Structure 1
Amino acid sequence: MSLSPHKFNKATYHLKRVTEFAKQYFKLIKWKSNSRILDIGCGPGHLLLQIEPLFPEDYAEILCIDKLEEMVNYFNSQKRDPRIKAIPMDIQTTSLSNDLKGRFDFVFSCDSLMYWSNIRQSFRNISQLMNEKGQLFFIWTKKGDVHDIYKAMNKIHKWAPYTSEFKNWTSYFDTENPTKALKTEFERVGIEILKSETMKSSFEDEERDNLTELFESLDYVSKRIPKSDLAEYKDDYRKIVDEKLTKERSSDNKMKWILPFEYIVVAAKKSC
């Protein structure tokens, strides 16, 4: 069990939903010719490649960034349009490259925002990355399930030294009114919301292990664990993941495992 872009790339639960939201929200976007597009938290790239056909055909470039080099390397090994490039970069950086400032007409991010620990620095960077007419589309879940797992692992004495940064973890937008919190943070950096909504959804699978492997494919802490302890670590990790899943009988009388969550979707533009 370890970080696995290949395994994560197999997770297709959210592709249909994200594509549907993108089709709806992209109607609010005023596309310009030769757009420069930024994908934040691209992972192995399967989601970006899923919605890439929705972008204007004449886009100039898509730059994809992720703080995990394993994800970037995997993405760059995949077949894709030559205008798409992935580089390792953390959106929370305090040393943003001058070459990237004001470069992008459109910023896209899916399922990464809930894992940012420094929201204000991230949004400050995003505002600087957008040009004066820049626009964005974000979609993410209220809770950061992977980090929540590490927070639970931190309560187990044996794994506490490896998960110390998650001891007091909270997802910034896991509140009763996430849109209000988002509006406040956007206004700080000159970004105006065009449309935003939250809705309940879920990942569903007849095989529990498929959902468990989804989390395991994102487990970058496991590489810190001594090999002699990995089996025990894996057992504890899976137990915590299992606690997040519920079991129901489907309409065709088959049992299915469910991971419930809430989506937050937003389209916005640079206002100053």
Structure 2
Amino acid sequence: MNEASLYSKYSGLQKTDAKFVVDNYLRLVKWKSHEKILDVGSGDGDVLLEILLPGLPPDFHRLVGTDVSDDMVRHARNKCKHSKVDFVPLDIATSSIPPEFYEYFDHIFSFYCLHWVPEQRRAMKNMFDMLTPGGDMLLAFLASNPIYDIYENMAKSNKWAPYMHNVKKYISPYHHSEHPENELEDILKKEGFVSHLCRVEDRTYTFPSFQILSKSVAAVNPFIKKLPDDEVDNYIQDYVKEVRKLESITVETCNNNDNEEKVHVPYKLFVVFASKVV
């Protein structure tokens, strides 16, 4: 990801889906008193502080937000004023979780993180190991999105291929799956979870203009930081051209003085609720 401040400003899609999941699925979590909670991939901290935190029982003991990016962790720490909330660096696909986190958390949440993780089984194992017996987790991440088709198409061009040679690393492991729920259910069960819900939700997000789309691309596109500075604008322009080519994406011209175009992007979102049996 690019700098945390840019991500914070142009993360409307992530916040919209986090709110959707909290509003519709947080009821599945069974709360007790003084519990410890983990948020995996908390990024700039906005979702944790603005969407997750207000839904928690007031007597929780501790809420820990993690991210693989030190920049994101620093950004989140700087804006956090809650005495029971902290942010720490953590790669959810690490080969060794911090010993102090082993069977430490009663609940784990993750919003818009796990599609960045090729090592799905390792991530699920680590979350299993960090949960207390009887603990549970609520996850939301992309199963598929046209953005991944754009990555693949641009990676085939002679112009951008040198900067996108590891494109598969940045595509959801389930993007080309015919039955993503079955694949994920199988991983959950193999790592010891009882799966109560493993659903793919059909979602659509509307960018109000191509300008906002471009800013959002710059905020999360993993290849931009590899480009020479004088090629970034050209890359984004080519990206927008690829958006216009995709039949799955609908562009709507607005009847205003600027003739702005709304961009409707359909995608599939995993919602998962699973527990660790006592």
Give the shorter-chain TM-score range.
Answer: 0.7 to 0.9
Counterparts in 2 of 1:14 and 1:158: CA distance versus 1, 3 Å: closer
- Structure 2 distance, partners of 1:168, 1:37, is 28
Counterparts in 2 of 1:168 and 1:119: CA distance versus 1, 3 Å: closer
- Structure 1 distance, partners of 2:261, 2:228, is 37
Per-residue deviation, 1:255? 5.0
Per-residue deviation, 1:146? 5.8
Counterparts in 2 of 1:98 and 1:146: CA distance versus 1, 3 Å: farther
Aligned counterpart for 1:197 among listed residues 199, 219, 242? 199
- CA displacement, residues 242-266 of structure 1 (integer Å, 9 cap, x when unaligned): 5454213689998522111112212
- CA displacement, residues 204-244 of structure 1 (integer Å, 9 cap, x when unaligned): 13312112211211134322223344443343344345545
The aligned counterpart of 1:257 is: 263
Q: What is the TM-score with the length of structure 2 in the denominator? A: 0.86
Q: What is the aligned length? A: 271
Query: More displaced, 214-223 or 146-155?
Result: 146-155
Structure 1 runs (4+) greater than 6 angstroms displaced: 250-254
2:213 maps to a residue whose letter is: L
**Secondary structure in structure 1 of the residue aligned to 2:118:** coil
- Structure 2 distance, partners of 1:237, 1:20, is 28
The aligned counterpart of 1:64 is: 65
**Secondary structure in structure 2 of the residue aligned to 1:203:** strand
- Structure 1 distance, partners of 2:102, 2:168, is 34
Query: Is residue 164 from structure 1 mapped to residue 165 from structure 2 by the alignment?
Result: yes
Counterparts in 2 of 1:48 and 1:146: CA distance versus 1, 3 Å: farther
- Structure 1 distance, partners of 2:263, 2:23, is 28
- Structure 2 distance, partners of 1:227, 1:26, is 42
Counterparts in 2 of 1:261 and 1:52: CA distance versus 1, 3 Å: same
Tell me, yes or no, if the aligned pair for 1:101 and 1:129 is still in contact at 8 Å: yes
1:8 maps to a residue whose letter is: Y
Gaps of 5+ in 2: none
Counterparts in 2 of 1:29 and 1:164: CA distance versus 1, 3 Å: same
Per-residue deviation, 1:144? 5.8
Aligned counterpart for 1:180 among listed residues 179, 182, 186? 182
Q: What is the TM-score with the length of structure 1 in the denominator? A: 0.87
RMSD: 2.7
Per-residue deviation, 1:187? 0.6
Seq. identity, %: 25
- 1:113-262 maps to which residues of 2 (within 5 A)? 113-143=114-144, 149-167=150-168, 170-174=171-175, 175-243=177-245, 245-248=249-252, 255-262=261-268
Counterparts in 2 of 1:250 and 1:196: CA distance versus 1, 3 Å: farther
Query: More displaced, 234-243 or 174-183?
Result: 234-243
Counterparts in 2 of 1:148 and 1:255: CA distance versus 1, 3 Å: closer
Tell me, yes or no, if the aligned pair for 2:207 and 2:263 is still in contact at 8 Å: yes
The aligned counterpart of 1:47 is: 47
1:3 maps to a residue whose letter is: N
The aligned counterpart of 1:271 is: 277
1:12 maps to a residue whose letter is: G
- CA displacement, residues 167-211 of structure 1 (integer Å, 9 cap, x when unaligned): 586532232322211211011111111223222111113312112
Tell me, yes or no, if the aligned pair for 2:76 and 2:87 is still in contact at 8 Å: yes
- Structure 2 distance, partners of 1:16, 1:219, is 19
- Structure 2 distance, partners of 1:145, 1:65, is 27
